[in-house]
Amino acid sequence: MKRIGYYPGCSLHATAVEFDTSLKAICQHFGIELVEIADWNCCGSSPAHNNDGFLAAALAGRNLVLAAEQGLEELVAPCASCFSRLKAAQHDLEHNEAWRAELEKRLQASYQSGVRIRSILDFLHAVIGLDALRDRIVGPGLAGLKVASYYGCLFVRPQEILGRQEQENPQEMDMVVNALGGQAVDWPFKTECCGNSLALARPDVAQRAIKAILDAALGVESDCIATACPLCHANLDMRQGRQGLKMSRALPVFYITQLVGLACGLPAKELGVDQHLVSTRSLLSAANLG
């Protein structure tokens, strides 16, 4: 059984518990042991780096120190925001000797830079693998399902930290959807910001951003949206029924791990799809899933 470190972050233990549930379900299905970092702390997302650069690096950096101490050479951070903050901290601590020295002084521990941080999309590609996904499909998998892969901001930016060449039209989630038998639609809003950070301070701005994304997905006749970010999922799923968001039809929003589980024949209830605000029942029934 392959062993890989796991940083759930705050969301996967709370508002995005179905992301956690579905990830653990597919890992068990594929024979992967997730080892949660003992005594992990909040990564500081999303306000810390706007107030204190060192504090933000130290909050996330402590988790990397713990992972190294616990012998975890690889670490999956499913939440896009957590992934972004861990990668940013790793970058900052490797390039700022003063910050690194201060962190080591405060923690009374040595900072090791060798921990490999994987996003959930990297995890699906490099740890599980597309061939393994294809081999485990039950029946037709996601056949007939048109999926709008929504990446949001944090899987593709900033380039100097993530090292990505393709920021406007990423393909990792699309490739997973297609490997599962579904059809990843071509649409222009893959990486547009959903406005989550403004959802409370400027709900009018956030609502316009959400509506634009949902309208674009509906415009290419998507059956659902797939995402890998708890903040994006909350915005797109929770706010569809809000005043001002007049849509031609409701659009279910899945975590990509849920779609993996469904295509592999895992029970929908075990994947947490019944916990979404936009009902998935009629879509799953029509697609013979779950």
DSSP-based three-state secondary structure for 146: strand
Q: What is the DSSP letter of 222?
A: -
DSSP-based three-state secondary structure for 35: strand
37 has pLDDT over 90: yes
161 has pLDDT over 60: yes
- Residue 155 CA to residue 165 CA, distance in Å, equals 12
pTM over 0.85: yes
244 has pLDDT over 60: no
pLDDT band, residue 168 (cuts 50/70/90): confident
pLDDT tens profile 263-281: 999 999 999 999 999 999 9
Category of 228 on φ-ψ map: left (φ > 0), alpha (ψ -120 to 50) or beta:
alpha
Mean local confidence (pLDDT), 160-180: 86
Q: Does domain 135-286 bear CATH number 3.20.20.80? A: no
- Residue 28 CA to residue 153 CA, distance in Å, equals 29
DSSP, residue by residue, 104-125: HHHHTS-----PEEE-HHHIII
134 has pLDDT over 70: yes
Q: Does domain 2-118 bear CATH number 1.20.1050.140? A: yes
Alpha-carbon distances, residue 27 vs 8, 35, 63 (angstroms): 14, 11, 22
Mean local confidence (pLDDT), 247-260: 92
Alpha-carbon distances, residue 250 vs 15, 152, 211 (angstroms): 21, 20, 12
Domain boundaries, the chain: 2-118, 135-286
Strand partners, 3: 33
DSSP-based three-state secondary structure for 195: coil
pLDDT band, residue 50 (cuts 50/70/90): low
Mean pLDDT of the chain: 92
243 has pLDDT over 60: no
pLDDT band, residue 25 (cuts 50/70/90): very high
137 has pLDDT over 90: yes
pLDDT tens profile 94-125: 999 999 999 999 999 999 878 999 999 999 99
